[in-house]
Structure 1
Amino acid sequence: MSTRWIIHIPAAANVQQVLGAATQRLGVPVRVVRPLLQPNSWLVQLDSLPVLSTLATQPAVSALLNAIPGVGFASPDIEFKPVAIAPPDDPLYGSNQADYMGNGTYAGMNMPAVWEQTRGSASKIIAVLDTGVLFDHPELRGRLLRGYDFVSQVTPPTGTPETAPVAASGSNDGNGRDPDASDPGDAPPPGFVCSDGSTTSSFHGTAVASVAVAQANNSAFLAGMDWNAKVLPVRISGRCGTATTSDIVDGMYWATGSGRVDPAIGVNPNPANVINLSFATSATLGSNCTDAGTAAVRLAISDARARGVAVVIAAGNNNGGPVEFPASCPGVIAAGAVQSNGALASYSAQGTTTNALTLMAPGDAKGQFVAAYNPGILGGGHNGAPDPTKNGAALFAGTSFAAPMLSAVVTLIESAAPSLSVDQIINVLKTSALPYPSGASCSAGNLFGVGGCSCGSNSCGAGIVNPLQALNQARALAGLPVANVPQSRVVSGDSTTLDAGISSSASGSNTGLTYQWTQVYGNPTTLVGTVSPILQVTAGLTNNLAEYQLQVTDSNGNQVGESTVRVLSAGVDERNFTPSGQSAPVVTQPAQSSGSATTVSTADGASSGGSGGGGGGGGLAPLGLMGLFALLRFYRRGGRAL
């Protein structure tokens, strides 16, 4: 209980009279420490705590002091602690995610200051168009939606013996399109090699998704940028990391909940806020996204934008060449990669004055990114299929991983400033970007030849993403309070506590706010504190997947901000959970497609550990496991993947 109090006495002449009454009623001396700058307010000190049992609590002392004639109000002199977000306890955060911190590097993003304002919302969805995901990876648990597999060309399951010739692309899961967006691996069959030289799986979609949303504070691996946004896995890439125009276009329309409805597929019940595509091609037809060969993808991007969906696409890994298709299309947020010092990562597309990048995102030293991975393929007998016992993390390189950083910055801004349009958000991202440092010249590179070159606004787009400044600008435009909920989580028990006490008004203050928690998904749970910043879920989480929405109302104009947090019971499969009393979605198996499609892209940013089938960009090194092998594999493939 506080021994110091702030007492407001409107009639200054009554100060000694009030203090005398307080001393008499409390039974302990009460003296003035000093007058405050607030007119007619004094800081007073109780020399000791009251001995009467009826005055043993702070509310009891407050009631007594406020009842003294002449007292305007009496408030305890509360001790406040910093509201800064503690560094995530994920072991690779400090060592391999230095660019997330405000640590003095030029391109550092100061994400802890961003998380103090918003940790995102589970109502925001990033559609990751990629190889699918590993649903059991601990970095993605609690953050996934069911998704869909749009790979239409059929090849046998991974590991099934095949004889020459074999398809260089296709499903690798033994069927065509279906509602299972899990990644079976994209390796070729035993004895065969992909055109990029790889023989093992990339699990590229899992790596990309984890950069955006990896579970923070789970004492494992890494921390993502957005601690609440969900991932909608849209599988458009199969064997050897190859995707086709037709599958990409269908995946885009389904992800946005627009376009023609195929009864066999159905309508996506979870339309995306952001589409992330870490694929590209350097084919001539796509050099500027203006000729007939690019029309289908160009229209899909345009229609997504018309529905208010941001489209983030990796710019390409062509060692300083022009932005590749489809990142070269109008309306796209084209993502390039820089090093910590602000110099262009040597593999990144650079852009020109007429076809510039939108933004660059930093990898750590020499453009490496840490991301989720499954190194089980490095053991015998897996042939590129995932081993659930070996989910881990690895170092990667490529603009594939710059893209999900920008996607997550978009969802963070949308959670804090939902009234802004995509065009407004893109403008905020550009105007807040860090300029390229004039002193960042080409570097000599490291042992493995990964160098970097300087950029300017005429050659590399608007600059380097600056999440904190972008968020501040967006909040100023929106003028709304922010409901800053804690990160989504996986729990093993039947209860949890959700603390949103660092929510803030439009002006940044955490005073004058009112709170309202509501459960918006899952089987009913028992709640305590629904009108306070701290919600206690006291029962009902076992075998449940629940989401809770917080509305924060600002006293200024009764403006409202809201955010949502997801809580997943450890034993629940996110793909198949349906709340009791609701019907599970009816899914029919589409007819298999035997038609061919124009190959548009290869996966950009293969994982370390063989950087297989997932295409370019190339992994640099599994953390603590066969790093040199992965590096040699990456450079033998020429770094094509993003």
Structure 2
Amino acid sequence: MLIAAFVGITTVGGRAADSYVPGEVLIAPRTGQADAVADMLSRHRRPIAKRSRFSDIVAVSVPVGTEQAWIDIFHADPAIAYAELNGIGEGGVVPNDTHFGSQYHHRNTGQSGGTVDADIDSDLAWDITTGSSDIVIAVLDTGIDSDHPDFSGRIDPDGFDFVNGDSNPEADHPHGTWTSGCIGANANDGFGVAGVDWNCKILPIKVLNSANLGTVQDLADGLNYVATQTDVSIVNMSLINYPSSPSITNAITNCRNNGKILFACAGNSGVGTANGSWPGASPDTITIGATDRFDQRASFSSTGSAVDFVAPGHSIATV
């Protein structure tokens, strides 16, 4: 029942999967080698651009255009576990609609010419349960509109903004609010739309900026923070086009080792591309492709061995 909410916010978007922050390199010291790495950076006169809060990963400033050369230098240092570009990923794009009747993914009656029962049968599931306030879902995205009435009483206060480095993960791009609405908008209240879970708590983790873009460092930091949150059971990453990254891989493993179930998008780049779009390409995420109102693969939805399930994910109405 939850799966469709996690996939249903990605439509066609586009940017190069090999994008990265110019003039930055991420490095991670080996265990017990943080001081040695600090000494090495001092010798090379390389300032730190940004420290991670929940790991030893740091972004090091280097001259633009010399990133790969510095990665090679750092790899040669025995105190450094790995070095990599600070890659850039993104959130998907969704439409904004406030009418439950348009939410075909819950119950498809053929509205807008769709195929009857091309849905997740939310209405049948709600006859059994409408969710639980004991469930906390971490949403790694652009943040959330905390004043939106569809989230009244539903936002966990321990959210964090890793883009700006503060405890106020307020959305400056609507993607995170849309995503959270698919998952857990208040329901049966005569207003707006209905989320899949009417009672869960949303833990907003801001890892994307106002342009709907985010860095490897911030995503990894957000995941490592979520790993420390004992009340979180589910992690949603409606994110695409991050590069394969040891920082992200280690952070996902950290979450898995702490009992989290992680969901991710397959991607937006079409046939045969899912295996190159992280975090969904990770074998430790449950990766969801998108179908449309006709129960067919959405034309943009990535395919590949990384895809575990498909569910409605095209033109999903949300808050």
Partners of 1:102 and 1:278 lie apart in 2 by 23
The one of 95, 100, 107 equivalent to 1:93 is 100
The one of 305, 310, 328 equivalent to 2:256 is 305
Aligned to 2:140: 129
TM-score of the superposed pair, with normalisation by structure 1: 0.32
Measure how far apart 1:107 and its partner are. Answer: 2.4
Contact 1:123 1:230 in 2 (8 A): yes
Measure how far apart 1:359 and its partner are. Answer: 1.0
Partners of 1:207 and 1:136 lie apart in 2 by 14
Gaps of 5+ in 2: 1-96, 110-114
Partners of 1:256 and 1:229 lie apart in 2 by 18
Aligned to 2:51: none
Measure how far apart 1:243 and its partner are. Answer: 0.8
Partners of 1:119 and 1:256 lie apart in 2 by 26
Alignment CA distance shift 1:91-1:295 (3 Å):
closer
Partners of 1:368 and 1:296 lie apart in 2 by 32
Aligned to 2:303: 350
Q: Deviations over 1:229-260 (max 9, x none)?
A: 11000111113111111111111111121xxx
Code of the aligned partner of 2:186: Q
Measure how far apart 1:228 and its partner are. Answer: 0.8
Aligned to 1:368: 315
Measure how far apart 1:91 and its partner are. Answer: 7.0
Partners of 2:240 and 2:107 lie apart in 1 by 30
Paired residue secondary structure (1:344): coil
Aligned to 1:218: 189
Code of the aligned partner of 1:310: I
Contact 1:214 1:222 in 2 (8 A): yes
Task: Give yes or no for the alignment of 1:177 onto 2:158.
Answer: no
The one of 246, 252, 265 equivalent to 1:314 is 265
Q: Percentage identity across aligned positions? A: 31
RMSD: 1.9
How many residue pairs are counted as aligned between the two chains? 215
Q: Deviations over 1:394-432 (max 9, x none)?
A: xxxxxxxxxxxxxxxxxxxxxxxxxxxxxxxxxxxxxxx
The one of 233, 242, 246 equivalent to 2:204 is 233
Aligned to 1:255: 226
Partners of 2:167 and 2:107 lie apart in 1 by 38
Task: Give yes or no for the alignment of 1:334 onto 2:294.
Answer: no
Equivalences for residues 154-165 of structure 1 within 5 A: none
TM-score of the superposed pair, with normalisation by structure 2: 0.64
Paired residue secondary structure (2:167): coil
Contact 1:91 1:219 in 2 (8 A): no
Measure how far apart 1:112 and its partner are. Answer: 1.4
Contact 1:256 1:271 in 2 (8 A): no
When Rg is computed on C-alpha atoms for both structures, the one with the higher figure is 1
Measure how far apart 1:102 and its partner are. Answer: 6.0
Tell me which of the two structures has the higher relative contact order, counting C-alpha pairs closer than 8 angstroms and 6 or more residues apart: 2
Measure how far apart 1:220 and its partner are. Answer: 1.4
Gaps of 5+ in 1: 1-89, 152-175, 186-201, 258-267, 287-293, 373-642
Aligned to 2:124: 113
The one of 145, 148, 154 equivalent to 2:160 is 148
Aligned to 1:625: none
Measure how far apart 1:210 and its partner are. Answer: 0.4
Partners of 2:141 and 2:236 lie apart in 1 by 9
Paired residue secondary structure (1:320): coil
Runs of 4+ in 1 over 4 A off after TM superposition: none
